[in-house]
Amino acid sequence: MWLIDSSIGRKLIMSISGVFLVLFLIFHSLMNFTVILSPETYNLICEILGANWYAIVGTLLLAGGFVVHILYATYLTILNLRARGRNRYAISDKQEGVSWASQNMYVLGIIIVGFLLMHMYHFWYKMQFAELTGIQTGMFDPHDGAAYVSELFSNWIYCVIYIVWLIALWFHLTHGVWSSLHTLGLNNKTWMPRVKVIGNIVSTLVVLLFMAVPVYYLFANLICC
């Protein structure tokens, strides 16, 4: 099959699934940021995206996108290691023009997936899953997500873990966004510098919006104490 056998086809799948996930991150970061501005608005958004058929469909599509992206990333990494053979153990100078993020995309991806599993346990399992099944999965009201966010981020250890994850996400996105756009055709001399700038701007904005939440509650708890 061309999409699997061809290197261009594999990169195309990685790019399309990557763009899909970036769009989700943009929406999710904006949604999370509202918990600082208005807990009531955040709870309203959670209610709209809660136990509804479109939320279930969206969750399944998102899960499918993540699975495809992760499996293809693993597959491409294995192919790359096989192609390099014994040379992968050789010490070589860093290639000029190759960023640190591009050389460590898979490792960064593993860090992101590890945190994602914890994030889904805390938020999807204890909120949306609880609404869908009616099973109490935590000691809080699943309809009051803002209160749960406040309680969760009152733990400074979780705040620090969250911020470390966001740093890994930033490095992953800065390379991933421009690489996806490059694969999708924006790769000439005129657009290449612009694409890199766009990738850096999008990645930074998404990460800052996400990071604002733990930083806000971290400082709020420090002031209160």
Domain boundaries, the chain: 2-84+106-224
State how far the alpha carbon of 221 is from the alpha carbons of 32, 113, 154, in Å: 19, 28, 6
- CA pair distance 141, 213, nearest whole angstrom: 20
pLDDT of residue 79: 74
pLDDT of residue 84: 64
pLDDT of residue 86: 52
Question: Which residue type, as a one-letter code, is found at position 41?
Answer: T
pLDDT of residue 128: 76
- Radius of gyration of the chain from its Cα atoms, rounded to whole angstroms: 20
Q: What CATH class has 2-84+106-224?
A: mainly alpha
58-105 confidence digits (pLDDT tens): 777 877 877 877 777 777 777 777 766 555 444 445 555 556 666 777
- CA pair distance 168, 223, nearest whole angstrom: 28
pLDDT of residue 101: 65
The H or E element spanning position 6 is none
Residue 124 neighbours by CB under 8 Å, 6+ apart: 59
- CA pair distance 21, 23, nearest whole angstrom: 5
CB-CB contact of 212 with 36 (8 Å)? yes
Instruction: For the chain, list residues with pLDDT below 50.
Output: 2, 88-92
